[in-house]
Amino acid sequence: MFNPIIHVEAAAVILILSLFSLRFKLLNKSGVLASIPIGYIIYVFGGVEYFILLLVFYLTSGMATKLRVRQIGKEVMDKDWIRSWKNVVANGTAAVMISLLSVMGFDRGQITAAYLGAVGTAFADTLATEVGLLYPREPRLITNMRKVVRGTPGAVSPYGYLGGIIALLVLMLSSMVTGIAGLKIVIATMISGVLGMTIDSVLGATIQSKYRCIVCGKLTENKVHCGRAAEKVEGISFIDTHIVNLISTISGAVIAYLIAST
């Protein structure tokens, strides 16, 4: 049954968050525009509880990025410090799809597990990146354990995995406070979150495109650097960090759904 109140409520909450995001530079203008339909769909179709969990991820990740920038600066492998529409879509698409499925007769518990698997993977991967960049030693590439430059796609460290686990614990506590997750869903989310961020690292190390700037020689994720087209050194051209994030969040959702279904 159509409930106009929930639509007005969603619009008001998202408007406030949009202004907040612009004011504190958590998102740029394109990121805010992309977040409006994503947040609206999750709020209206997934429910307030789903939206709260997304908000926990968003605000915690934003604060982690601010702290990372304060500690080591903005230019580490060109990691984002103000997120754009690409970040929002990559991390939010799976959550939106699952929210829409939640009103189509699927088992609510299994759908909630899938939702938490997607959000948990995005949350764990984001905090793994932000906390991992603070690691004082050289991280290691997940595929062969070679030491690599800090910020290299697919690089892992103890700090990174600790950050990912902290993110999942925060999400699990939040899900229990909202009352939507029992023990089985908590276990499914923890497992899927760890596996999801590991999948992200493996994809980053193997198929994600990487470039070298022809001006400064820096390894980068961007096709253009120092105002010039960079030279691709490895990976598949159309698979960037955002495609990797999308694949990993979908993987996390599927893993959590399968665990909750057993």
Counting every residue written for the chain, the total comes to: 262
Q: Which two tokens stand for residue 222?
A: 């961007």
In this prediction, residue 165 carries a pLDDT of 97
For the stretch 207-236, pLDDT in tens is 999 998 888 887 788 888 888 888 999 999
Query: For the sheet containing 210-212, what is the strand order?
Result: 219-220, 210-212, 231-234
Tokens 């070679």 -> residue: 146
Question: Is residue 132 helix, strand or coil?
Answer: helix
Q: Using an 8 Å Cβ cutoff, are 52 and 9 in contact?
A: no
Give the up-direction half-sphere exposure of residue 128: CA atoms within 13 A in the CB hemisphere. Answer: 29
Residue 238 corresponds to which amino acid?
Answer: F
CA separation for the pair 21, 6 (Å, rounded): 22
For the stretch 167-199, pLDDT in tens is 999 999 999 999 998 899 999 999 999 999 999
pTM of the shown model: 0.93
Question: How many C-beta atoms surround the C-beta of residue 5 within 10 A?
Answer: 7
In this prediction, residue 1 carries a pLDDT of 46
**Average pLDDT value over all residues in the chain:** 92
